[in-house]
Chains A and B, each alone.
Chain A
Amino acid sequence: MFCIQCEQTIRTPAGNGCSYSQGMCGKLAATSDLQDLLIYMLQGVSVYAVKARELGIVDSEVDTFVPKAFFSTLTNVNFDDERIIAYVQQAATHRENLKTAYEAACEKRGKTAEQMPLVAQLVLGTSKLEMLSQAPIASLNKDKNHIHEDILGLRLLCLYGLKGAAAYMEHARVLGKTDAEIAADFHQIMAFLGEPSVDADKLFSTAMEIGQLNYRIMALLDAGETEAFGHPEPTVVNTKPVKGKAILVSGHDMKDLELILEQTAGKGIHVYTHGEMLPALAYPAFKKYAHLVGNYGSAWQNQQKEFANFPGAVVMTSNCIIDPNVGQYSDRIFTRSIVGWPGVTHVTGDDFSVVIEKALALDGFHYDEIPHNITIGFARNALMAAAPTVVENVKNGSIKHFFLVGGCDGDKSERSYFTDLAKSAPKDSVILTLGCGKYKFNKLEFGDVNGIPRLLDIGQCNDAYSAIQLAIALSQIFECDINELPLNLVLSWFEQKAIVVLLTLLSLGVKNIRTGPTPPAFLTANLAKILEEKFGLRNTTTVEADLKTMLNVA
């Protein structure tokens, strides 16, 4: 195996990346190899999708399948070999179907079918063993001895960025939002990455294209969410359990949350959000469910303790799942969509009876805990509504700085940086946050500036779209460039969604972003230097030093 896509990957003086029998996330070498093969096959599908499109053939099933299956290879999503194999086989079928359609269209037009690149030609083995024996051809670093390490770094930056974008495409699709142009551009980049490039400039511009593409995808997802559930509004949320039977819904897919709420109504079950599902509580559509009682727990990396302590059923609608056997709750956790763990019940379709039965059979919480309320729901509309007041406070000097602190959470102790930064931010500053990185400080008290809460929770990581809209609006009001606003971005990254959000910000020309706690292991020192020179992108240092610079600069 060779996997270097997340923050916890192995780093040694001899080289970075998980390359032994198991990744740091718990993914076994075989699963990782099968995922490489899946990506390779999907790139082959995209090659044909691009060529077929040129002849007017668009297969919407393929357009949704490729990003969805690609999503299954994201960190902490699917650890189940059988499911990955099924995706690989479906990819082979889709590719062959497209190939047939493409060749038929060529024939019809009296045109010779083009010779396709190797990535679109693999004859897939029929058994798992055969597939594993084919994996080396799909290995991400197979030509590392023949290329400069910066080229590998750029390829990975693109691949992992596109993977994050694919995840957001799937989230949007679940909400009924697809876009043929986005799909076309996605296939184009996917196909390009299937033919390993050694052109640094082309790879770099592709990374920027991925950022731009993702901006459109986030807009699509934003439309999907707000059209389905309304615009988030500031909402007070209890983060402690209440007495009663319980279901915990984690991940990003609010459609699943809606189905679960409908099906649990009147059954004496309380439903809680977890992790990235927390922002759902601010959407108007969910407020009619009195049995949606609040949020439980914190970010993904604490789930082995928090789920173990949760006396009900748990549903993982998307990333991030980690080994449920550690906390001995594999019999009461359920996976959905692209998520998988061997031996864990996977729920397909819209019927959650199995989850409800499990929750009813379990004890539930015996008591209330002392409530602890936090306020969330400062997405696009709420921020825009508050903009005039914010502007007034900026003009009269009450608010001097804005920080956007967010991204993914993780378990490295260095991540206390984000807690300390939020705590140390001056009282005349407002902190915007998003993603699960917020759990590093979202239960602390920050107070307000003339009625404007100092901590504004925008939502999920993809709600970076809302933050961008606010920044654009403020830059228009103040008639300045986004980079001239008294706004500092400090992003915590763990996996590929954070990578693509970063690419989006860079592609929009946002400069001087800080990322932490450690730089991605696939970014070489050279690449990091180039990104710093070009975008002012830099790694976090100490809270004290960073704050000093940020406040002076701002």
Chain B
Amino acid sequence: MDTKIMNINTLPDITLSSTPARQDSFSQLVCVERWNETADVVSFRFQAGEPMKFDYKPGQFMTLVLDINGEQACRSYTLSSTPSRPYSLMLTIKRVEGGLVSNYLIDHLQPGQMVRVLPPTGQFNLFDISAQKYLFLSAGCGITPMYSMSRYLTDTQMNADIAFVHSARTQADIIFKTSLETMATRHRDFKLRYIVENVTTDTVWHTEETLHDIGCLSANNLRDLVPDFAERTVFLCGPEPYMQAVKKILTDLNFDMSKLYHESFATAVKEAQSRVKQAEMQSTNQVNASASFMLSIGDKKRALTAEQTLLEGIEAEGLPIIAACRSGVCGACKCQVLEGETESTSSMTLTPADIEAGYVLACSTKLKSDVTLSLG
């Protein structure tokens, strides 16, 4: 896959003042508003305790750290707000069957309540990917980064050239429909198209006929809808099957894949799930018998196999660590190897100085010898 990975050396930081000495490292945000975007999608707007500007890049995600039924749960969500309107942050969340955190937020988070978050981060963003002309391809809830980017571009540039093709199940499932259509009306070079799988008869279809197609995105309709797609830089986000299908379409159309950028977060979540499953299976099967290396953290020691990650060892010892994406994307589980040899599959959010100092991402690092680790 020819997807470029940008290196971000500085992460935007949210700091809040005036709260009493708190020892945890999270920032607090207050939910100030919530509303339904569609039947199963809710947007939440957050502010700091006192008016402050949030600094992040359009397309980045933020990690919520929650306590659900007595257990800590961390999930990352792309910010659907834009830093060009900097006094609040917005998350847009879809109810998913069996989705612990998303459904918890939709069922419980109300205006006036506080949540703990880690600062926004992520490389799939407008500032770190340079482009002249944009092609936003999204499906379902994958619209959130595109919406953030679209708002930023239309807020800050009069002539940003954007083609936006969004796929949804039905007309009623199109998130941000009204705002997007307003943007498309006001900006000459903002071309908005929807592709819906099913047209339901009971939904009043307010969008102009010309704005939508029925079916799925294909090479044919992409060529028809966006004739100059080859000149554009593609930003892609959506469910995994959709992303795979689009990549195939673009390949078939001989698109220059070096100009394709996708949000790897969806993949990260999927990998995270399989990794959590693996870890669970390992713990039930008591695989520890084949342990070969010793992980030492303070006065805690745990034997790990060469196949287990540092994160598994840290969590098994019950030590405090935040592992939001569990796939080497979010950078939350950064920790320092004081002694010993390790092998990492990701160092995405680490700076060269971090790496020099021995920092690794616990979720993506395995032991190659006995290791002494610092979580500080």
Measured CB to CB, the residues of A under 8 A from B are: 240, 243, 305, 308-309, 311, 327-328, 362-363, 366-372, 413, 416, 441-445
Contact = CB atoms under 8 A, between A and B. Distances in A.
Given A243-B112, A309-B24, A366 B69 contact: no
Contacts of B36: none
Nearest to B20: A311
A308 B300 contact: no
A444 B70 contact: yes
B108 A370 contact: yes
Contacts of B66: 370
Given A367-B49, A413-B300, A416-B318, A372 B20 contact: no
A309 B22 contact: yes
Contacts of B49: 366-367
B28 interface: yes
Contacts of A327: 23
A444 B71 contact: yes
Given A367-B49, A372-B69, A413-B317, A328 B21 contact: yes
Nearest to B19: A366
Nearest to A241: B114
B114 A372 contact: no
A441 B70 CA distance: 7
Contacts of A328: 21
Interface string B271-286: 0000000000000000
Given A441-B70, A442-B70, A371 B108 contact: yes
Given A327-B23, A441-B70, A444-B70, A367 B317 contact: no
B318 A370 contact: no
A413 B298 CA distance: 14
Given A367-B114, A370-B115, A371-B108, A362 B20 contact: yes
Contacts of A413: 300, 317-318
Given A309-B24, A443-B69, A368 B113 contact: yes
B240 interface: no
A368 to B, nearest CB: 5
B276 to A, nearest CB: 16
Nearest to A413: B318
B338 to A, nearest CB: 21
A308 B21 contact: yes
B67 interface: yes
B109 A305 contact: no
Given A370-B108, A443-B70, A444-B71, A308 B317 contact: no
Closest 10 CB pairs of A and B: A443-B70, A367-B114, A311-B20, A368-B113, A413-B318, A370-B108, A444-B70, A363-B20, A445-B69, A308-B23
Contacts, number: 59
B22 A368 contact: no
B174 interface: no
B30 interface: yes
Contacts of A372: 67-70
Contacts of A363: 18-20
27 contacts: A243-B112, A305-B23, A308-B21, A311-B20, A363-B20, A366-B18, A366-B19, A366-B28, A366-B49, A367-B30, A368-B112, A368-B113, A370-B66, A370-B109, A370-B113, A371-B108, A372-B67, A372-B68, A372-B70, A416-B318, A441-B70, A442-B70, A443-B67, A443-B69, A444-B69, A444-B70, A444-B71
Given A441-B70, A443-B71, 4 more contacts: A367-B112, A367-B113, A368-B114, A443-B69
Contacts of B109: 370
A183 B110 CA distance: 55
Nearest to B112: A368
A422 B288 CA distance: 23
A413 B301 CA distance: 11
Contacts of B19: 311, 363, 366
Contacts of B18: 363, 366
Q: Which of B19, B49, B110 has the most CB of A within 10 A?
A: B19
A543 B124 CA distance: 44
Nearest to B319: A413
A230 B128 CA distance: 65
Nearest to B116: A369
Contacts of B21: 308, 328
Q: Which of A309, A327, A416 has the most CB of B within 10 A?
A: A309
Contacts of B300: 413
Interface in B108-141: 108-110, 112-115
Interface in B1-33: 18-24, 28, 30
A393 B8 CA distance: 60
B72 to A, nearest CB: 11
A332 B49 CA distance: 24
Nearest to A411: B318
Nearest to A306: B23
A341 B117 CA distance: 35
A362 B30 CA distance: 20
Interface in B63-84: 66-71
Nearest to B49: A366
Interface in B45-103: 49, 66-71
A308 B113 CA distance: 21
Q: Which of B20, B68, B115 has the most CB of A within 10 A?
A: B20
A356 to B, nearest CB: 18
B109 to A, nearest CB: 6
Contacts of B318: 413, 416
A413 B115 CA distance: 28
Contacts of B112: 243, 367-368
A369 B70 CA distance: 14
Nearest to A369: B114
A369 B67 CA distance: 10
B214 to A, nearest CB: 40
Contacts of B30: 367
Contacts of B114: 366-369
A18 to B, nearest CB: 17
Contacts of B113: 367-370
Contacts of A444: 69-71
A461 to B, nearest CB: 20
Contacts of A371: 108
Contacts of A445: 69
B334 to A, nearest CB: 21
Nearest to A240: B67
Contacts of A243: 112
B108 to A, nearest CB: 5
A368 B109 CA distance: 10
A309 B109 CA distance: 22
A175 to B, nearest CB: 31
Contacts of A442: 70
A21 to B, nearest CB: 19
A264 B198 CA distance: 61
Contact of B22 (A308, A367, A369): A308
Nearest to A367: B114
A305 B109 CA distance: 25
A367 B109 CA distance: 13
Contact of B23 (A240, A309, A441): A309
A12 B116 CA distance: 42
Contacts of A240: 67
A297 to B, nearest CB: 12
Nearest to B70: A443
Nearest to B28: A367
A443 B30 CA distance: 24
B99 to A, nearest CB: 16
